[in-house]
Amino acid sequence: MADEIKINRSEGTTIITPIVIPRPEHKISRANISENAVKVLYRLKNAGFQAYLVGGGVRDLLLGREPKDFDIATDAHPEEVRRVFSNCRLIGRRFRLAHVHFGRDIVEVATFRGNVDPDAEVDHESENGMLLRDNVYGSIEEDAIRRDFTVNALYYNIEDFSVVDYVDGVKDLEAGVLRLLGDPETRYREDPVRMLRAVRFAAKLGFLINPQCEKPIFELGDLLDDIPAARLFEEVLKLFMGGVSLNTFEKLRHYDLFGRLFPDTEEYLSHEEFGFPVTFVNRGLENTDNRIAEGKPVTPAFLFAVLLWEPVRQMANRMMANGDSPLQAMQQAGNEIVFRQSQRIAIPKRFSLPMREIWNLQHRFTQRNGKRPLRLLSHPRFRAAYDFLLLRAEGGETEMELANWWTEFQEASEEDKNRMMSQPKGDSEGVKRKRRRRRKPKVKKQDQE
Ligand code: ATP
Ligand code: MG
């Protein structure tokens, strides 16, 4: 077990000698830490407490990346933190965290957590070994070893600006390795979301998951079924909205985790008869990544619309073959797939409603006569639905001519718009085809299961 972190215990306390990297030997500078986080660190220190930056903030700064957020760890108890800051709220029932508010910015301050003797309080564990016990406060050493990966357990000390490493995390950071602290299977069983975190960090940082930590993932994916749907929603956003969603998706599939999150989608992806569903999801995710790279907004509604499209489309096609109108079919298929998906991932209504609109508007793009195009153009969800149409057209699911028409129509002058609406259209999914369909519903070959 050379890869496991050694923990020396003496009389119940954990004693580990840290590696301390002094300021001149690392590249974390206060200038790269958010002003508010620096304020919180200094205020805690000046009040006589220990204060460290920890987690992703330290990891990313050491890698020369821009951190998403800055978390702070301290030996001050939550009530003591509150006494130091007037702009502070305590949250969480089982483990209290302090949120220090600066306008809209929130700096999270956590008291060092200690895990009591792992053999104690066994009755608080679920059947699968998931950690249900309440956490207790502890020392910085204990706080370090209960974190997930070694590279996430590094501390930046505001006292002397050094980086404190209890777990050989700097070595792993330099080698580009993700290594869980402790026994991997036990740690995944304690919290199965760590498997998703492993994949997310591997994709985001371009790191390798250490082989001992990688192997159990293939076997333990079903533990994700026990994770509350609301927590999985948060995790899915982090997985797919971090700018490397395509890579993350491919890794999730590699580790058999994608199907745990999106069982209906996986069902179609695994058939891959026409290479079609995979490329649609791939293209949709690539599109999301590009938008993030360009600083354009991305919405979870569009992301979920992409991820769930294949099962929705196939179900709607079956319903249309049975005589339902395109809108009826799409609405019912949407209901059914969203209901099934919500057993795994709780998509809040503020995202699932616009997602459904993106789907429901698709058939309206085929109606290009009279005033209908103008009405569609003024629909609040037009832009997202149009982007979605482009994705479909790029994959050959609908005619490119249709997508091009809408591209042109949006930019056309009033006069040209009128001309375009009255001109005969290419017979893609237009009026003629609709008439034909009414007599004998025809399903495209690739739509059949
Ligand atoms: P990022 O914010 O870039 O996504 P992060 O590492 O900061 O990455 P957070 O979710 O912000 O991730 O968590 C902050 C820190 O809390 C982590 O770095 C890790 O030390 C610890 N942590 C978070 N989730 C877990 C978990 N499930 N098990 C153990 N430790 C965790
Ligand atoms: Mg973070």
* Closest CA to ligand 1's atom 8: 56
Q: Give the pLDDT of residue 16.
A: 74
169 lines ligand 1 (CB under 6 A): no
Domain co-membership, 57 together with 87: yes
- Report d(CA 371, CA 352) in Å as an integer: 28
Please choose from 152, 204, 234 the residue to mutate so as to test ligand 1's pocket, defined by most ligand atoms within 8 A of CB: 152
Q: What is the extent of the structural domain holding 288?
A: 183-360
* Closest CA to ligand 1's atom 14: 55
Domain co-membership, 142 together with 220: no
- The reply to whether 89 falls in a domain is yes
71 lines ligand 1 (CB under 6 A): yes
Please choose from 71, 149, 150 the residue to mutate so as to test ligand 1's pocket, defined by most ligand atoms within 8 A of CB: 71
Domain co-membership, 108 together with 223: no
- The reply to whether 196 falls in a domain is yes
What's the full length of the chain, in residues? Answer: 449
162 lines ligand 1 (CB under 6 A): no
- The reply to whether 449 falls in a domain is no
d(CA 61, ligand 2 centre) in Å: 12
Q: Which of 122, 144, 175 is the last residue of a domain?
A: 175
Domain co-membership, 159 together with 204: no
69 lines ligand 1 (CB under 6 A): yes
Q: Which of 156, 175, 194 is the last residue of a domain?
A: 175
- The reply to whether 142 falls in a domain is yes
* Closest CA to ligand 1's atom 18: 55
- Report d(CA 82, CA 333) in Å as an integer: 50
**Closest ligand 1 atom to Cα of 67:** 3
Catalytic residue, chosen from 69, 168, 256, 324, is 69
- The reply to whether 137 falls in a domain is yes
69 is known as an active-site residue: yes
Q: Give the pLDDT of residue 109.
A: 97
Q: Give the pLDDT of residue 423.
A: 80
**What are the tokens at 72?**
């702070």
HEC profile of the chain: CCCCCCCEEECCEEECCCEEECHHHCCCCHHHCCHHHHHHHHHHHHCCCCEEEECHHHHHHHCCCCCCCCEEEECCCHHHHHHHCCCEEEECCCCCEEEEEECCEEEEEEECEECCCCCCCHHHCCCCCCCCCCCEECCHHHHHHCCCEHHHCEEEECCCCCEEECCCHHHHHHHCEECECCCHHHHHHHCCHHHHHHHHHHHHHCCEECHHHHHHHHHHHHHHHHCCHHHHHHHHHHHHCCCCHHHHHHHHHHCCCHHHHCHHHHHHHCCCCCCHHHHHHHHHHHHHHHHHHCCCCCCHHHHHHHHHHHHHHHHHHHHHHCCCCHHHHHHHHHHHHHHHHHCCCCCCHHHHHHHHHHHHHHHHHHCCCCCHHHHHHCCCCHHHHHHHHHHHHHCCCCCHHHHHHHHHHHHCCHHHHHHHHHCCCCCCCCHHHHHHHHHCCCCCHHHCC
- What is the domain-level CATH number for residue 241? 1.10.3090.10
Domain co-membership, 196 together with 320: yes
Q: Give the pLDDT of residue 279.
A: 83
Please choose from 148, 150, 196, 244 the residue to mutate so as to test ligand 1's pocket, defined by most ligand atoms within 8 A of CB: 148
Domain co-membership, 243 together with 265: yes
- Report d(CA 192, CA 226) in Å as an integer: 8
416 is known as an active-site residue: no
Which ligand has an atom closest to residue 148 CA?
1
190 lines ligand 1 (CB under 6 A): no
d(CA 199, ligand 1 centre) in Å: 13
- Residue by residue, pLDDT tens for the chain (449 residues) are 344 444 444 444 556 789 999 999 999 999 999 999 999 999 999 999 999 999 999 999 999 999 999 999 999 999 999 999 999 999 987 788 999 999 999 999 999 998 755 555 444 556 666 655 556 899 999 999 999 999 999 999 999 999 999 999 999 999 999 999 999 999 999 999 999 999 999 999 999 999 999 999 999 999 999 999 999 999 999 999 999 999 999 999 999 999 999 999 999 887 765 555 668 999 999 999 999 999 999 999 999 999 999 999 999 999 999 999 999 999 999 999 999 999 999 999 999 999 999 999 999 999 988 889 999 999 999 999 999 999 999 988 899 999 999 999 999 999 999 999 888 775 444 443 444 444 444 444 444 43
- The reply to whether 413 falls in a domain is no
- The reply to whether 191 falls in a domain is yes
- The reply to whether 165 falls in a domain is yes
168 is known as an active-site residue: no
68 lines ligand 1 (CB under 6 A): yes
Q: Give the pLDDT of residue 299.
A: 95
55 lines ligand 1 (CB under 6 A): yes
**Closest ligand 1 atom to Cα of 60:** 3
Domain co-membership, 344 together with 196: yes
181 lines ligand 1 (CB under 6 A): no
* Closest CA to ligand 1's atom 26: 148
Sign of CA dihedral 441, 445, 446, 449: positive
Domain co-membership, 216 together with 350: yes
Domain co-membership, 152 together with 235: no
* Closest CA to ligand 1's atom 17: 55
Q: Which of 345, 360, 375 is the last residue of a domain?
A: 360
- Report d(CA 107, CA 100) in Å as an integer: 5
Catalytic residue, chosen from 60, 75, 143, 148, is 148
Q: What is the tally of structural domains in the chain?
A: 2
Domain co-membership, 9 together with 101: yes
The structure's pTM equals 0.88
Q: Give the pLDDT of residue 136.
A: 86
d(CA 69, ligand 1 centre) in Å: 10
- What is the domain-level CATH number for residue 130? 3.30.460.10
Domain co-membership, 196 together with 313: yes
Domain co-membership, 192 together with 119: no
d(CA 449, ligand 2 centre) in Å: 43
Catalytic residue, chosen from 71, 143, 165, 264, is 71
